[in-house]
Each structure stands twice: as structure tokens, then as C-alpha cells.
Chains A and B, each alone.
Chain A
Amino acid sequence: MERIPILRLRDCLLVTIQVDMHDQLALTLQDDLTELIVRHQARGVLIDISALEIVDSFIGRMLSNIAAMARILDAVTVVVGMRPAVAITLVELGLEMPGVRTALNVDAGMRLIERALEEERQAGHGRSKG
């Protein structure tokens, strides 16, 4: 079955979406990520959508779902690399992605994840890893 590859970097999962996904492929990615967060005890999920030419309501919902599921599994999700034309279109479409944090690029996204996890540690939340 066709799949979007998911890379593991320390306690983060990285996904770069490089194809025009049909709906089932997007749903498979959602399931795979949820599965891998648990299997690798990941604390961060970084999704690079810089290659995506559009984000419609289906893909938007997938990103929201991933962020919500990751949150329940104690991981932070950051979506990076959204193209300006995509951002403009999303606003006009009326799509909101609650719970989805965004950053301009992978570097900024990784920093955002690290900062979020650091804040949690200081506040005494989140799981501690030995």
C-alpha cells in the first residue's frame, strides 16, 4: 500500500509530504503517525507541507486531527512550510485548524517543539523520560 514515509529523529517524528495526496493516503498518514507516536514515545511531530500546492478542507482536517491525537498522546505537533498562496486560500475558504501550531520552516518548527516541551518540563507537566 502507498504510504507517506515518516522519519524518526531523537524523540520527534518528521514527515515531508511531497505528493498530491488522495484522501485515503491522508487518512493512512494520520493512522501511521498516531501509531508511531505511541511506539516510539515521540514528544514532537513535525509536518513539512512546503511541497503542497493546496490545502483543502480535507487535508486541513487531517492536520487538525493529527494535532489533536498527538496532544492526547502527549506530543506537540508543528506544521511547517505553508506556501503564502495556500495560507491566503485557507483564510478565504474559512478553514481554521484548532490546535495546529505552525512555523515558517523546519528549523523554526524544531525550535518551537523544543520550547514547548521545555515549558512543559518547567511547569511539571508531561512525562519525564529517563
Chain B
Amino acid sequence: MVVLKAESLTIATQEDVVRVRQTTRAWAAEIGFSLVNQTKLVTAASELARNTMLYGGGGTVLLESINDSIRAGLRMTFEDEGPGIADIETALTDGYTTGGGLGLGLSGSKRLVDEFNIWSEPGRGTRITILRWR
């Protein structure tokens, strides 16, 4: 798998979440995703960027335009050094929330992408990688 292009963005404020959405949209369009798939990616990015800001106390997202010789895709890695998630399985359940939201951020964004990987350790932080093929 080849990384054609990469860019890291800071996620600290609500405005940063908006910037993540706009950058994701621009990259997804450039890679050639359909409008529906662009919308799915941007929505997933919005949910995860908000989580990074709210629950992770801020962090970063790395966008990577990738190619595995057959197809192109967009990979995004959200990383924070916040309190982490003690029970990942529960956190991935629809409707589960610790922050007064709808509890769809993790579970919902997982449904919007092709690959979803989560690493988290209490006290050390959380890293979520999503990938969608064109």
C-alpha cells in the first residue's frame, strides 16, 4: 500500500472540527469518491473529530491518500492523549454515551467506513483509524 499524500491537522477547538470536515471533503473529492461516499466520509470524520476534541481533550488527525495498486482510498487516524476508553466494546454500542450525546459517534461512524480500528488505553489516550475505499 502506497501513501500518495499525507497531512496532519490539529483538533483543539470547534472550529478545528469544521476544518477537519472541509479538508476531508476536499481530499475525498480529489480522490474521486462519489458524492454519497464523500458525505459518509465527512460525516464519520465529523463524529470522530468531535470525540477527539470533547473526550480526548484535543489531539490530531492524519489524513492519508492511499493506493494499493487496485484501488484508491482515504485513511484517517484520530489520535489523542486523553483519558482513554476503559471498555471499548461498550463504547461501540449504539446509544452508549458518557458525554450527553446520542451515543452514535463511534458506532455510527464505524458503519460509514470500510475499515475501523480502535486502540485505547485508560490514562494514555485513544487512536482510531478509519479507511474507506473509493
**Chain A residues in contact with chain B, CB under 8 A?**
20-24, 53-58, 60-61, 83-86, 88-89, 92-95
Contacts of B94 in A (CB 8 A): 94
CB contacts (< 8 Å) of B121 on chain A: these are: none
Give chain B residues whose Cβ lies under 8 Å from the Cβ of A56: 43, 46-47, 50
Contact present for B108 and A57 (CB under 8 Å): yes
Q: Smallest distance from the beta carbon of A124 to chain B beta carbons, Å?
A: 36
B12 within 8 A of A: no
Judge whether B43 and A58 touch: CB under 8 Å.
no
List residues of chain B with CB within 8 A of the CB of A93. 43, 47, 104, 108-109, 111-112
Contact between A54 and B43, CB atoms less than 8 A apart: yes
- Cα A22 to Cα B20 in complex, Å, equals 11
> Does B89 sit within 8 A of A, measured CB to CB?
no
Q: Known contacts A22-B15, A93-B104; is A54 also within 8 Å of B50 by CB? A: no
Residues A58 and B50 in contact, CB atoms below 8 Å apart: yes
Q: Choose from A57, A86, A92 the contact partner of B111 (Cβ within 8 Å).
A: A92
Given the interface pairs A88-B36, A89-B112, A94-B104, the reply to whether A54 lies near B14 with Cβ below 8 Å is: no
Q: Which residues of B come within 8 Å of A, CB atoms?
A: 14-15, 17-18, 21-22, 25, 35-36, 38-40, 42-43, 46-47, 50, 94, 101-102, 104-105, 107-109, 111-112
Residues in A whose Cβ lies below 8 Å from that of B14: 22-24
From B21, B39, B50, give the contact of A88 (CB < 8 A).
Answer: B39
Minimal Cβ-Cβ distance residue in B for A86:
B39
Q: Is the CB of B18 within 8 A of A20?
A: yes
Contact A94 B108 (CB under 8 A): yes
**A95 touches which of B22, B50, B104 (Cβ 8 Å):** B104
B36 lies within 8 A of A85 (CB): yes
Instruction: Report Cα–Cα, A54/B40, bound state, in Å.
Output: 8
How far, in whole Å, are A83 and B107 apart by their CA atoms in the complex? 23
The contact of B35 among A20, A55, A85, by CB within 8 Å, is A85
Residue contact A57 to B101, C-beta cutoff 8 Å: yes
Q: Please report the C-alpha to C-alpha distance between residue A92 and residue B108 in the assembled complex, in whole angstroms.
A: 7
B50: chain A residues at CB < 8 Å are 23, 56, 58
Q: Which 4 A-B pairs have the closest CB atoms?
A: A22-B14, A93-B108, A85-B39, A56-B46
Q: Closest chain A residue to B42 by CB distance?
A: A54
CB-based nearest B residue for A20: B18
